[in-house]
C-alpha cells in the first residue's frame, strides 16, 4: 500500500515538474499506439465490413482467422514481427528493427483483428429489413455502405476502443521489436517493466499511474462519443 501511495506522489511530481524523460516516453506512447490504431482502423473496418456483407468461398476460414487473431498473444506477434524484421529476415533490408516503426507494425497486427471482428459483429447485428429498406431507396453501393457504417457506428466505436486498448497496454511485442531504447523506443509499458527490474518500485508505480490516467482519458473520450452517438 505504501508503494502505491508513493507511486501517486511520484506520478504527481513527474507531471508537475514536466520531467523530460516522462514527457518523451508519454509522447512516444501516444505516437506509437495512435498510429497503430489508425492503421488498424484502415485495415480492420474494410475487412470486417466485407466479411459481414459478402458470401464467398473461404469466408468461413477468414472469419475463423479474424476470430483467432483477436486472441493472439502479443509476445507471439512480437516474435514473428522480429523474425521478419531481423537483419537476415525477409524484411531485414529495411532496417526497421528496434525502431518506433517496428513497434507500430507489431501493434497494428495486434489491433487489426480486434477492429475487424468487432466491425463484422456490429454490421451483422443490423436488422436485415433495414438493409432492404436502404436498397429500396435506390442508393448506390457506396451510399449503401456508408449508411450501414453509420447505423453500425456504435459498434465500430467499440471496435476502435478495443483496438486502442489492446495496443496501449501491450508490452511484450513492443519490447521485443523496439528494444526499449531510452529516448527512442521506450514507452510507458516498457519503462514500467524496466523500473521494476531495477527495483525502482515508486517510479514504476508513478509510470503505471500516468499510463492509467492517459488510457482512462482517451477511453473516456471515445466512450463519450459512443454514448453521444447513441442518442443522435
pLDDT at 232: 57
Residue 106 CB partners (closer than 8 Å, separation 6+): 74, 77, 78, 81, 173, 174, 176, 177
CB 149 within 8 A of CB 49: yes
Per residue in 70-101, pLDDT (tens digit) is 988 899 999 999 999 998 889 989 889 999 99
Residue 6 has pLDDT above 80, yes or no: no
Domains of the chain (ranges; CATH) run 2-230 (1.10.3720.10)
CB 168 within 8 A of CB 35: no
Per residue in 181-205, pLDDT (tens digit) is 888 999 999 988 888 888 777 778 8
Residue 135 has pLDDT above 80, yes or no: no
**pLDDT tier for residue 206 given thresholds of 50, 70 and 90:** confident
Q: Give the chain's largest Cα–Cα span.
A: 66
Instruction: Report helix angle 201-230 to 2-16, nearest 10.
Output: 70
Amino acid at each position: 500500500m505504501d508503494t502505491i501511495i508513493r507511486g501517486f506522489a511520484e506520478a504527481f511530481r513527474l507531471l508537475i515538474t514536466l520531467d523530460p524523460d516522462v514527457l518523451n516516453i508519454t509522447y512516444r506512447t501516444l505516437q506509437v499506439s495512435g498510429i497503430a490504431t489508425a492503421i488498424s482502423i484502415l485495415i480492420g473496418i474494410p475487412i470486417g465490413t466485407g466479411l459481414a456483407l459478402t458470401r464467398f468461398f473461404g469466408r468461413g476460414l477468414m472469419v475463423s482467422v479474424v476470430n483467432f487473431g483477436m486472441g493472439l498473444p502479443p509476445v507471439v506477434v512480437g516474435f514473428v514481427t522480429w523474425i521478419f524484421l531481423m537483419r537476415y529476415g525477409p524484411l531485414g533490408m529495411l532496417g526497421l528493427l528496434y525502431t518506433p516503426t517496428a513497434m507500430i507494425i507489431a501493434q497494428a497486427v495486434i489491433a487489426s483483428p480486434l477492429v475487424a471482428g468487432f466491425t463484422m459483429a456490429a454490421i451483422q447485428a443490423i436488422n436485415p429489413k433495414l438493409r432492404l429498406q436502404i436498397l429500396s431507396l435506390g442508393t448506390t453501393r457506396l451510399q449503401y455502405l456508408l449508411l450501414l457504417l453509420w447505423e453500425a457506428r456504435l459498434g465500430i466505436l467499440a471496435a476502435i476502443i478495443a483496438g486502442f486498448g489492446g495496443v496501449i497496454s501491450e508490452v511484450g511485442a513492443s519490447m521485443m521489436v523496439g528494444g526499449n531504447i531510452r529516448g527512442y523506443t521506450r514507452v510507458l509499458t516498457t519503462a514500467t517493466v524496466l523500473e521494476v527490474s531495477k527495483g525502482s518500485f515508486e517510479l514504476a508505480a508513478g509510470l503505471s499511474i500516468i499510463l492509467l490516467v492517459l488510457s482512462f482519458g482517451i477511453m473516456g473520450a471515445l466512450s463519450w462519443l459512443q454514448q453521444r452517438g447513441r442518442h443522435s
